[in-house]
Structure 1
């Protein structure tokens, strides 16, 4: 039996719309993952610190504000600086395809747009976690 996957769901910046983040958090919990939801208006520093303190496997950012090209890289950089580049950084929101591609080039994992099935996200995280465990074995 493997341990539960630990996921931190965060809403960085000034975006006050958290319904989608709460839906994702509930879906991940329903799938058997341990979920920490940080709430609204988190700074990248707060998110990275919480991820490290909670020893999570995955950080999921929900960004609807248009600040994704700043917020995702900053969280990634802070995790790397703390020696936690093993944490999967994923997320979703209103992010154009070309920005998704640019963020992936900078170390951000797959990103999910509006209308994505929560099951797609659950499967993506489970597959990533299983492949990581195989590498560690």
Structure 2
């Protein structure tokens, strides 16, 4: 089987002190309905826990849900992923993210920011494409190291 045709594996989580999980539960269910394997965590996750879970579960994409200002710690998550050798994992952020903060997230390496009202089909299609891109890069890197 072609590695890129495997089912995308997505971690949906909330980092920091944001305990409002309705949006993340809806997105997790929508991604499952779109044929993805979804690992869902309860709210209030710390960065080391998210990194450890991403490593253990070998995820392609991490989806961060934010209602409050917890998206502001995503650059620290990106740095922690890099440190753990997971810099190839795609990261998307969704929820209440002020326009002024979106550029900062994209600069930190977030692939995309989804705002309230984003269609589930659009989110799922983007995550599918991102997961395929992650897997292609991983396959190319693995091929280079075996040469």
Equivalence map 1:17-36=2 (5 Å): 17-36=20-39
Secondary structure of the residue that 2:12 maps to in structure 1? strand
1:10 maps to which of 7, 13, 17 = 13
Secondary structure of the residue that 2:111 maps to in structure 1? coil
Equivalence map 1:1-137=2 (5 Å): 2-69=5-72, 71-135=73-137, 136=139
Alpha-carbon distance, 1:97 to partner: 1.6
Secondary structure of the residue that 1:24 maps to in structure 2? helix
Secondary structure of the residue that 1:91 maps to in structure 2? strand
Report which stretch shifted further, 22-31 or 94-103: 94-103
Alpha-carbon displacement from aligned partner over 1:4-39 (angstroms, at most 9, x marks no partner) = 100000011121110110000000001110000011
Alpha-carbon distance, 1:65 to partner: 1.5
Secondary structure of the residue that 2:92 maps to in structure 1? strand
Which structure would you say has the larger Rg? Answer: 2
Secondary structure of the residue that 1:116 maps to in structure 2? coil
More helix by share: 2
What value does the CA root-mean-square deviation take over the aligned residues? 1.4
Query: What is the aligned residue count?
Result: 136
CA distance in 2, matches of 1:84, 1:132: 11
Alpha-carbon displacement from aligned partner over 1:46-100 (angstroms, at most 9, x marks no partner) = 111111111100000111121312x211111111001111100112111112211
TM-score between the two structures when normalised by the length of structure 1: 0.92
